[in-house]
Amino acid sequence: MPEPRVAVSSAERAAGRLTDAQAAHAVQSVAAQGYVVVEDAVDHTALDVLHEKMLADTRELVTARDRGDNISGWKHGHLQQKPPHHPPYVFRTIVANPFATQITRGVLGEGLFNAFYSGNTNLPGSEEQPLHRDALPLWHDWDRAYPATTLVVNISPIDTHPDKGSTEIWPGSHRVTGELTAALIAERRATAPPVRITAPKGSAVIRDIRLWHRGVPNRSDQVRHMIAMVHQIKWYRRVATLQFQTGCEAEFKSDDLDPNAEFVDAVPDYLFGPHLQHS
């Protein structure tokens, strides 16, 4: 089984497209393993600007949490944190990354759209999450897996590795049906044990939303942000339109992805506003 990883070459970066062979490898990895890591896909300058702003936003969220506000987060040390929805913090290299969207279109076909722009923040000293899927199967009575309908695109502004609480994933588990019972988990661990994602700065990680995974403790002294987008097949029901401030429309230009976005005059309340849940 080929490693679920590709690296964008300088020639591909100049062209704004993966070669057919690279794209086919990535699509095959998502189908077979449930994920692929795309290295050197995201501009570092944009990540640095976004990282500084998100660190300031994290401090604001933690202050609100510590005074007793109801801040979204599943386990201690894990925050649901949206990146800014306004200029100058919206970047095409993230919201319409050409290499990520080339792969998600290769899996889902034409007409796909983005249904989500949020993220998860793993603070130093965090706890382990329960093993879970982000979405239940669409057809609960099926005893076999169906092709992908929804893919998650994750981008972190920094290097991610196990010491920083990189996500634990279970390769191939997107094709496993049934509830995540202790017996099923033990059986899967014996045949296809979990791995921890290693993604150098500039990587995009694409995974099937059904893939088993969990957040794990961040043993470093760095806050690890992870931006999340959810690309869905064209016939999937649209729950809501994503709001961004006017002035960043050009960042969403893409031949492969419908941004599913509207642009408003005021800065959307991205930090304390509601989060659409995909779980």
d(CA 236, CA 153): 17
Contacts of 41 (CB under 8 A, 6+ apart): 8, 97, 99, 100, 202, 203, 204
Q: Which amino acid is at 253?
A: K
The pLDDT of residue 172: 95
Rounded CA separation 188/80 (Å): 28
Amino acid (1-letter code) at residue 230: V
What is the structure's pLDDT at 44? 98
Give the residue from 98, 93, 100 showing the smallest Cα distance to 30. Answer: 100
- The model's confidence at residue 178, banded by pLDDT at 50, 70 and 90, is confident
C-alpha–C-alpha distance, residues 100 and 171, integer Å:
19
The mean pLDDT value for 233-262 works out to: 96
User: Average of pLDDT values for 12-28?
Assistant: 97
In the structure encoding, which two tokens stand for residue 135, read together?
A: 């979405």
Is 187 inside a domain boundary? yes
The pLDDT score that the predictor gives to residue 71 is 58
Q: Please tell me whether residue 270 adopts helix, strand or coil conformation.
A: coil
Residue by residue, what is the 3-state secondary structure of 133-160?
CCCCCCCCCCCCCCCCCEEEEEECCCCE
Residue 273 burial (CB count, 10 A): 10
At residue 277, the pLDDT reads: 45
Give percent above pLDDT 90 in the chain.
Answer: 78
Range of the domain at 229: 5-264
Mean residue pLDDT across the chain:
92
According to the model, what pLDDT value does residue 2 have? 60
Residue 279 in domain: no
In a domain, 275, yes or no: no
128 in a domain, yes or no?
yes
Strand partners, 226: 120
Dihedral angle computed from the Cα positions of residues 196, 34, 276 and 112, in that order, rounded to the nearest 10 degrees = 140
Can you tell me the mean pLDDT for 92-112? 98
Q: Is residue 276 part of a domain?
A: no
* Least confident stretch, 27-41, 140-154, 191-205, 213-227: 140-154
Q: What is the CATH number of the domain that holds 223?
A: 2.60.120.620
Whole-prediction pTM: 0.93
Strand, helix or coil at 200? Answer: coil
Grade residue 205 by pLDDT with cuts at 50, 70 and 90: very high
Task: Express as a percent the part of the chain with pLDDT over 70.
Answer: 92
pLDDT at 21: 97
- The domain total for the chain is 1
Beta carbons within 10 angstroms of residue 186's beta carbon:
9
Of the pLDDT bands very low, low, confident and very high (cuts 50, 70, 90), residue 279 is: very low
The reply to whether 92 falls in a domain is: yes
Residue 272 lies in a domain: no
In a domain, 110, yes or no: yes
Per-residue confidence at 270, pLDDT binned at 50, 70, 90?
Answer: very high
Which of 2-16, 100-114, 138-152, 258-272 shows the lowest per-residue confidence on average (mean pLDDT)? 138-152
